[in-house]
């Protein structure tokens, strides 16, 4: 069973996603904050991380994502970022590291995620990173 | 100290003065012709016509000058041009008057017009200075003719005795002339001063209103984001249940949960549309790029055709081959056109027809989306672009529309400096037209 770590402070959203992912036999772990998430990641390395952009403060999710990507041990973990990113213009996956517009995640999508879309994105990211 | 609008207004008024001067040239020439040839006064025909021609020539030169500085106008440059025009006009009038009777010429009164014009175009001090210049010219003519330095061209047919040496006559006319000019300037500048104050106050109020609108829109944005957050959680929890992921439900449970999920989805759609239109209203400008319109629309048609097939609606598309790339905010245009096409499909009954045509209109392109749909009642056509407005016959086809799609479309097109409008006949069909500048801004 592949392990998915969800880092999001909305307990209802998290529970809904957990139900959906567990129905497809993923092992789901939860963290309610960025710090908790990083701790959990180091304790038991997940195959994929689902990260909410807005926790406590706006864009906290980006800081967490950058920390993960800068850590050589964990930078290969695919990150799926949640919430409305389209509002911020100029963000582009194609940008290089170091650019302030660098989006340190592998995919993003708007909340709420329909169950089929969530499964599809998770499957796709895992296949891409663990061929 | 001059705002951009005031400067623009002044430039406009200078063009108006140039047009006025054209009429003056014609009027002067006609007057010379009438009095000199028809009424057969003994006039210095040649010098008079020369002045009329000079008037026309420097009028043309000022016109060219204004066109040359276009785009780089500053307050000081425009003020100098305005002052120059008025001073030259005063000089021309003085010379005209000299060659047609001097102090005996009733057209001395026409100096008042220039005082009014000066008061409209210039500030109070400059207007008084121009008045003083006019008075100096007047006295120059009178004194020089009096001393014989300049010859006097007496209007024998108009006035019996040569008055140029009559001190009482000279004093009388001079007094009236000087006082008239200064009083005219004072009155006219007082009026224009008050008008300008009102203009500035209105401009300031406009800016205030815009800021208040921004505050309101930001408030709406914050509130709507809050709503969306909770709504997301609700939808997130409902959908797995409605979709059967949490296990089977009895028919009643299934039915009610389905209804809840359905309504939540509709509400989410509405909330997203509200967010979008509020964001557009807050943004002052959008990022534009060049792209091939043909490719964009072909993609849309492909997407639309799949929806139209279910209702057996035929979709046709033509675009003039001369249309290449246009500059616009690609995603916004894509969404707007999708909206319009999807609307057409939605409100067109089975076996209908939708035509999409794009015409090349020089610096603009014209997109027409015609359908054989239910149409829009005539008195409701102007209202359909209003926020939240839904036509009375639309509700029969689609119960819960947001009423925001067309107002979003209107905002987007207007941000591109374009136009969008609708024509329709109830029961027969509608035609939505979108006019877009090719470069994203209107060219003259």
Lowest mean pLDDT among A64-68, B68-72, B161-165: B161-165
Which residues on chain A are in Cβ contact (under 8 Å) with B234?
12
Chain B interface, mutation test: which of A8, A17, A109, A112, most B Cβ atoms within 10 Å?
A112
Q: Encode pLDDT of B176-189 as tens digits.
A: 999 999 999 999 99
Bridge partners of B360, per DSSP, are: B365
Percentage, residues of chain B above pLDDT 90: 39
Total domains present in chain A: 1
Q: Which of B235, B240, B287 minimises the CB distance to A20?
A: B240
Q: Encode pLDDT of B207-226 as tens digits.
A: 999 899 889 988 988 898 88
**Confidence class for position B442, pLDDT limits 50, 70, 90:** low
Is the pLDDT at A100 greater than 60? The verdict is: no
Q: Which of B233, B279, B287 minimises the CB distance to A10?
A: B233
User: What's the pTM?
Assistant: 0.64
pLDDT for B166: 80
> By the CB < 8 Å criterion, does A9 face chain B?
no
Q: Does the beta-carbon distance from B233 to A13 stay under 8 Å? A: yes
CATH number at residue A71: 3.40.50.2300
Is the pLDDT at B344 greater than 60? The verdict is: yes
Lookup result for tokens 């610096």: B363
Tell me which residues of chain A, numbers 72 to 101, contact chain B at a CB-CB cutoff of 8 Å.
87, 89
Q: Does the beta-carbon distance from B239 to A13 stay under 8 Å? A: no
Bridge partners of B432, per DSSP, are: B369, B422
Return the closest-CA partner of residue B342 out of B368, B307, B370. B307
> By the CB < 8 Å criterion, does A19 face chain B?
yes
**Confidence class for position B443, pLDDT limits 50, 70, 90:** low
Chain A interface, mutation test: which of B226, B228, B239, B335, most A Cβ atoms within 10 Å?
B239
Q: Does the beta-carbon distance from B233 to A17 stay under 8 Å? A: no
Q: Which two tokens stand for residue B383?
A: 């209202």
ipTM of the complex: 0.83
For the ranges A59-73, B254-268, B328-342, the maximum mean pLDDT occurs at B254-268
Q: Which residues of B51-81 are buried (b: 16+ CB within 10 A; e: fewer)?
A: bbeebbebbeebbebbeeeeeebeeeebbeb
Q: Does the beta-carbon distance from A114 to B239 stay under 8 Å? A: yes
> By the CB < 8 Å criterion, does A12 face chain B?
yes
Q: Does the beta-carbon distance from B236 to A23 stay under 8 Å? A: no
**Segments forming the whole domain that contains residue A74:** 3-129
pLDDT for A89: 42
pLDDT for A90: 44
Is the pLDDT at A52 greater than 90? The verdict is: no
Question: Any residues with CB less than 8 A from the CB of A119 and at least 6 apart, and which?
Answer: A20, A21, A24
Do B121 and B86 form a contact (C-beta atoms < 8 A)? yes
pLDDT for A29: 95
Is the pLDDT at B338 greater than 90? The verdict is: no
């Amino acid at each position: 069973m592949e392990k998915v770590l969800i880092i999001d402070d909305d307990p209802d959203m998290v529970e809904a996603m957990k139900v959906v992912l567990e129905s497809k036999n993923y092992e789901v772990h939860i963290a309610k904050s960025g710090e908790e998430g990083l701790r959990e990641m180091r304790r038991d390395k997940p195959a994929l991380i689902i990260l909410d952009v807005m926790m406590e403060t706006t864009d906290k999710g980006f800081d967490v994502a950058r920390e993960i990507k800068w850590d050589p041990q964990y930078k290969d973990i695919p990150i799926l970022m949640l919430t409305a990113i389209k509002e911020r213009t100029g963000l582009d996956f194609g940008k290089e590291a170091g650019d302030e517009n660098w989006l340190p995640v592998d995919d993003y999508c708007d909340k709420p995620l329909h169950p089929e879309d969530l499964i599809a994105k998770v499957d796709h990211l895992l296949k891409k990173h663990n061929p | 100290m001059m705002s951009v609008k005031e400067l623009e207004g002044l430039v406009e008024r200078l063009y108006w003065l140039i047009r006025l001067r054209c009429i003056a040239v014609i009027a002067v020439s006609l007057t010379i012709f009438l009095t000199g040839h028809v009424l057969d006064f003994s006039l210095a025909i040649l010098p008079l016509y020369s002045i009329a021609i000079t008037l026309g020539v420097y009028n043309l030169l000022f016109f060219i000058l204004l066109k040359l500085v276009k785009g780089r106008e500053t307050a000081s440059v425009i003020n100098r041009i305005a002052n120059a025009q008025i001073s030259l006009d005063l000089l021309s009038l003085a010379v005209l008057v000299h060659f047609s009777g001097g102090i005996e010429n009733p057209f001395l009164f026409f100096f008042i017009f220039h005082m009014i014009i000066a008061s409209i175009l210039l500030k109070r001090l400059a207007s008084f200075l121009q008045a003083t210049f006019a008075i100096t010219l007047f006295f120059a003519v009178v004194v020089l003719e009096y001393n014989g330095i300049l010859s006097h061209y007496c209007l024998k047919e108009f006035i019996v005795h040569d008055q140029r040496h009559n001190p009482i006559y000279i004093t009388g006319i001079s007094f009236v002339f000087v006082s008239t000019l200064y009083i005219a300037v004072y009155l006219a500048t007082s009026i224009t001063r008050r008008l300008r104050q009102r203009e500035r106050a209105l401009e300031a109020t406009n800016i205030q209103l815009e800021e208040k609108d921004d505050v309101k829109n930001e408030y709406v944005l914050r509130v709507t984001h809050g709503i969306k957050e909770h709504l997301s959680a609700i939808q997130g929890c409902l959908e797995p249940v409605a979709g059967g992921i949490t296990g089977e439900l009895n028919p009643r449970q299934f039915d009610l949960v389905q209804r809840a999920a359905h309504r939540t989805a509709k509400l989410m759609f509405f909330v997203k549309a509200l967010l979008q239109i509020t964001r557009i209203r807050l943004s002052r400008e959008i990022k534009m790029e060049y792209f091939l319109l043909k490719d964009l629309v072909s993609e849309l048609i492909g997407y639309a055709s799949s929806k139209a097939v279910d209702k057996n609606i035929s979709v046709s598309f033509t675009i003039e081959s001369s249309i290449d790339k246009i500059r616009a905010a690609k995603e916004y245009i894509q969404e707007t056109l999708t909206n319009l096409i999807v609307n057409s499909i939605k409100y067109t009954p089975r076996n209908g027809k939708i035509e999409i045509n794009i015409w090349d209109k020089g610096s603009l392109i014209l997109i027409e989306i015609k359908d054989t749909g239910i149409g829009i009642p005539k008195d409701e056509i102007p209202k359909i672009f209003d926020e939240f407005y839904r036509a009375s016959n639309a509700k029969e086809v689609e119960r819960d529309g947001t009423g925001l799609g067309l107002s979003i479309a209107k905002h987007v097109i207007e941000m591109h400096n374009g136009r969008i409008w609708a024509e329709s006949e109830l029961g027969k069909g509608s035609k939505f037209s979108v006019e877009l500048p090719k470069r994203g801004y209107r060219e003259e």
